[in-house]
Amino acid sequence: MNLWLRQLKKDIPADLHTPVELARFELGSALPGLKTELRVQASMGDAYRIDPLDDGSFLLTGGSTGLLYAAYRLITDRLCGQEITRPVSSSPKYALRMINCWDNADGEIERGYAGRSLFFRNGRLDYDADRIRTLGRLLASAGLNVLCINNVNVHYPAQLLLEDYLPDLAALADLFRPFGVKLMVSVDFSQPMRHGVATADPLDPAVRAWWQDTAKRVYAAVPDLAGFLVKADSEGRPGPFTYGRNHADGANMLAEALRPFGGVVVWRCFVYNCRQDWRDTKTDRPKAAWEHYAFLDGAFSDNVILQVKHGPFDFQVREPLSPLLLGMKKTKLAMELQLAQEYTGHQIDLYTMIPMWKELYEELPADNIMSIAAVSNLGDDENYTGHPLAAVNLYTFGLLAWDPDVDMTAAVTRWCRLTYELDPLQEQTLVELLLSSRRTYEKYTAPLGIGWMVTPHDHYGPNPSGYEYDLWGTYHKADRNAVGIDRTHEGTGYLDQYPQYFRDKYGDPASCPDLFLLFYHRLPYTFRMRDGRTLIQRIYDDHFEGLEETRAMADKLSSIVFPEPDASVIRERMDKQLYNAREWCDIINTFFHRLSGIPDEHGRTIYD
């Protein structure tokens, strides 16, 4: 299944080895009548230029991967009914456009909602090569160029990717090479200790030697491996803290090992105390990343990229941009997004992410962000993303990582047009529906930036106090009068981690944007919002609206004629979403009504 490239009917032959060969094949089979000339200009890398010539032919110029991207641009423009009539030049804003799979070697996917791993079975790399080629085609057509295949929580035997399974890794890298997709692997910081080294201390010469030797072997097998991805000292993973070292010590040690081969260390900043005592009011989890990393700004080697989750918590529906992304000016950074709908509906509920990403990109500084990464929403389901409409997130993630200024309606329309041949009215309905889906989901789930009212561990469906007395630092502290945590200077001081303009924007509840209100402030239910409503009334209204909008969405969706098997899957998941939205709406409203005792001004049903 070619998803948004379903009009490309020919499978990719196994004997293509370079992006240029592939570009020729794709152009020849997708646009058989069209004359194209491909001119390699190696220095252009991923960038390309397309010149329409007087005789109706096209001249494509670019680096080898650039030519492949140019070919997909020409093909997809044509499939969308758009003609290139003027020269087009394009180059990616971010050098590394990465998908991070959380696939375990046994084939399970952590937070996977689209089946099992496409890469692993029974503890080994084992896959359907045709599906891998199709995936490569999809990734390249979206401009994506790095794929980390294994979970950042590296479970045995995934460690063997650097050892016994190296030949398998090399074979997989060969498969992806024509697509311009480089592999990356997650590594376990304590791995040397499985090989007779007494410690994993990053400053110990034996540890350094082990990693250097390992890098040499790995790059002999996969010379273009993008590098290593590391989750250290996070949620129980090993890391430099065990040895009294900091994260620059750890990352730079690995960077030194990868440097001779041009590899990068992508080092995640998802470090916080995951064994917090809920009685402890001093610790405020969103502050953690800054406290661990900000003082190290400038201390990382030039082939280290710090990968920072977009918000300070963990992929909630609404979080501010992480202060690290704004404040670490002397460090190379990657922003990490999550396509896997862990907190956003498990690829059952519709949740199109581009409106949220647009907000993030608008705030992102221009200079030191090198890379954009996203946790994968892929699996071995026939349609790759579980919900057929969740593929819009994979595709538009790629478009934005290439060019964050892309218009979001245009991007979603492009995906719809490539994926389905709908009549214009239905297409417009689908585009509108997808673009509104995030806001709708936000309305029926946790209110006004508070997050975390999900069922613990599984993270689907409501449980307003599920995490309230737990270890994870994710509290809302709702009582009969008020809800939220004060994160201003007078409160936990989280907001102090931001530049002044940011503090000014969010620091005062009277001017703080509504949707962030409870992220930054603790407020009484009677607090008057700018539009005159009380906080509690706004919570009720949002939840009733969220449910109503979901019902309207279901109606609209049923008016669109999707092809099978998509139609059945979409219908079946929409039924589940309706159930979920109702559960959320009623449980959240009841929760706050029971606490506050304040009735809904409109007398709607709240179950007590």
Q: For residues 229 and 185, is the Cβ–Cβ distance under 8 A?
A: yes
User: What residues from 290 to 319 belong to the interface with ligand GCW (CB under 6 A)?
Assistant: 314
277: annotated active-site residue: no
Bridge partners of residue 282, in order along the sequence: none
Q: Which of 153, 212, 242, 429 binds ligand GCW (CB under 6 A)?
A: 153
User: What residues from 381 to 420 belong to the interface with ligand GCW (CB under 6 A)?
Assistant: none
Toward ligand GCW, which CB reaches closer, 46 or 314? 314
> Closest Cα to residue 78, out of 139, 33, 140?
33
Q: How far is the CB of 108 from ligand GCW (least distance, A)?
A: 12
Q: How far is the CB of 153 from ligand GCW (least distance, A)?
A: 5
User: What residues from 213 to 272 belong to the interface with ligand GCW (CB under 6 A)?
Assistant: 231, 235, 270
Q: For residues 454 and 466, is the Cβ–Cβ distance under 8 A?
A: yes
Spatial separation of the C-alpha atoms in residues 410 and 481, rounded to whole Å: 45
Using DSSP's 3-state secondary structure scheme, residue 276 falls into coil
Q: How far is the CB of 192 from ligand GCW (least distance, A)?
A: 22
Toward ligand GCW, which CB reaches closer, 152 or 258? 152
What residues have CB less than 8 Å from 447, skipping those under 6 apart? Answer: 518, 538, 539, 542, 543, 588
Q: Which amino acid is at 204?
A: D
Q: How far is the CB of 227 from ligand GCW (least distance, A)?
A: 18
Toward ligand GCW, which CB reaches closer, 61 or 100? 100
CA distances from 509 to 89, 181, 499, 506, 523 (A): 45, 46, 18, 7, 8
Active-site annotation holder among 46, 168, 336, 342? 342
Toward ligand GCW, which CB reaches closer, 151 or 580? 151
Q: How far is the CB of 270 from ligand GCW (least distance, A)?
A: 5
Active-site annotation holder among 46, 201, 314, 442? 314
CA distances from 473 to 487, 519, 536 (A): 14, 14, 24
Q: For residues 138 and 3, is the Cβ–Cβ distance under 8 A?
A: yes
> Closest Cα to residue 293, out of 231, 325, 247?
247
Spatial separation of the C-alpha atoms in residues 141 and 68, rounded to whole Å: 8
Residue 51 within binding range of ligand GCW, rule CB under 6 A? no
SS (H, E, C) 57-98: CEEEEECHHHHHHHHHHHHHHHHCCCCCCCCEEECCCCCEEE
- For the CA atoms of 130, 132, 136, 138, what is the dihedral angle to 10 degrees? 80
141: phi then psi, degrees, rounded to nearest 5: -70, -20
Cα-Cα-Cα-Cα dihedral sign, residues 197, 202, 206, 212: positive
User: What residues from 586 to 605 belong to the interface with ligand GCW (CB under 6 A)?
Assistant: none
Residue 470 within binding range of ligand GCW, rule CB under 6 A? no
Q: How far is the CB of 352 from ligand GCW (least distance, A)?
A: 21
The CB-nearest residue to ligand GCW is 314
342: annotated active-site residue: yes
Q: How far is the CB of 102 from ligand GCW (least distance, A)?
A: 5
Spatial separation of the C-alpha atoms in residues 288 and 389, rounded to whole Å: 35
Complete DSSP assignment for 289-334: HHHHHGGGTT-S-TTEEEEEESSSSSS-SS-PPPHHHHH-TTS-EE
Toward ligand GCW, which CB reaches closer, 270 or 420? 270
Q: How far is the CB of 230 from ligand GCW (least distance, A)?
A: 11
Toward ligand GCW, which CB reaches closer, 153 or 212? 153
Q: For residues 480 and 526, is the Cβ–Cβ distance under 8 A?
A: no
Q: How far is the CB of 225 from ligand GCW (least distance, A)?
A: 21
Toward ligand GCW, which CB reaches closer, 111 or 556? 111
Toward ligand GCW, which CB reaches closer, 231 or 593? 231
Q: x/- string (CB under 6 A) for ligand GCW, residues 111-130? A: x-------------------
CA distances from 192 to 123, 263, 314, 374 (A): 20, 19, 30, 28
Toward ligand GCW, which CB reaches closer, 141 or 338? 338
> Closest Cα to residue 162, out of 119, 212, 238, 214?
214
235: annotated active-site residue: yes
Using DSSP's 3-state secondary structure scheme, residue 116 falls into coil
* HSE toward the beta carbon, residue 234, CA cutoff 13 A: 20
Q: How far is the CB of 256 from ligand GCW (least distance, A)?
A: 25
Size of the site for ligand GCW (CB under 6 A): 9
- Provide the token pair at 528: 């008057």
What residues have CB less than 8 Å from 32, skipping those under 6 apart? Answer: none
Q: For residues 136 and 178, is the Cβ–Cβ distance under 8 A?
A: yes
Q: x/- string (CB under 6 A) for ligand GCW, residues 63-102? A: ---------------------------------------x
| Rounded (to 5) percent helix, strand, coil in the chain | 40, 10, 45
Spatial separation of the C-alpha atoms in residues 130 and 576, rounded to whole Å: 32
Q: How far is the CB of 314 from ligand GCW (least distance, A)?
A: 4
Spatial separation of the C-alpha atoms in residues 150 and 112, rounded to whole Å: 12
Residue 110 within binding range of ligand GCW, rule CB under 6 A? yes
Toward ligand GCW, which CB reaches closer, 231 or 538? 231
Active-site annotation holder among 174, 224, 235, 277? 235
Toward ligand GCW, which CB reaches closer, 108 or 541? 108
Q: Which residues contribute to the site for ligand GCW (CB under 6 A)?
A: 102, 110-111, 152-153, 231, 235, 270, 314
Active site residues: 235, 314, 342
